Amino acid sequence: MANSAALEGINGLRDIRRSPASHLAAALEAGSVQGKVVLAEGPFQTMAGVRVDPRSEEGSRIAAATGGLPARCGDVAGADGVSVLWLGPSEFLVVAPEQAHDSLGGSLIGALTEALADAPGQVVDLSANRTTFELSGPRARAVLEKGCALDLHPRSFTTGTALNTEVGNIPVVLHKTGEESFRLFPRASFADFLGRWLLDAMREYASPEVP
């Protein structure tokens, strides 16, 4: 009975929660230009901040739980839907879809905490700390280049790379997930500003191109 009541409570929380950019959903859909650039929020990702020495025994256990740890700046590791982004030599952001690893009492945070055990380090549930914007299409890079100082040319910013940067003066982790697709991880409090900035940067692509 207790487990059933807990499950009902979790389902009730799902019904009332709102993602940081949920109020922009209609604007994101209207501002997307199919075939050119599309913007959407990927809400409720499970995220964990991990601090661990990757060369240690506990680092090996964390790597086993996530499918690997990235070795250097820009690298992304992981497996089975889990992405581990390099933030520092001993600091990582672990991201996974909610349906794979439910942040409301789910398995990923628990698995990471168990892997770290009592060893030096830290596992913090950051699922409510950030949201995810997904930007894709042939003009996605051009949109980002309006407000990002990184060299985003495919020769420099290759698929599978993730870096800390700023987009529209907002700190984000920028992950290139495909040749024409990016994920941006801003803090929840910046979601409204960044969403509106991206929409404004996309606006020109809604007009017919001038020959």
Task: Put the strands of the sheet holding 122-125 in their side by side order.
Answer: 76-77, 83-88, 91-96, 46-51, 122-125
pLDDT at 7: 42
pLDDT at 9: 45
pTM score of the predicted model: 0.87
CATH of 21-42+131-206 given 3.30.1360.120, 3.20.20.70, 3.40.50.300, 3.10.180.10:
3.30.1360.120
Q: What is the pLDDT of residues 75-93, one digit of tens each?
A: 999 998 899 999 999 999 9
Contact 128, 104 (CB under 8 A): no
Q: How is the chain split into domains, by residue range?
A: 21-42+131-206, 44-128
pLDDT at 97: 86
Q: If pLDDT is split at 50, 70 and 90, which confidence band does 69 have?
A: very high
| Whether the predicted pLDDT of 13 surpasses 60 | no
Mean pLDDT value across residues 63-82:
94
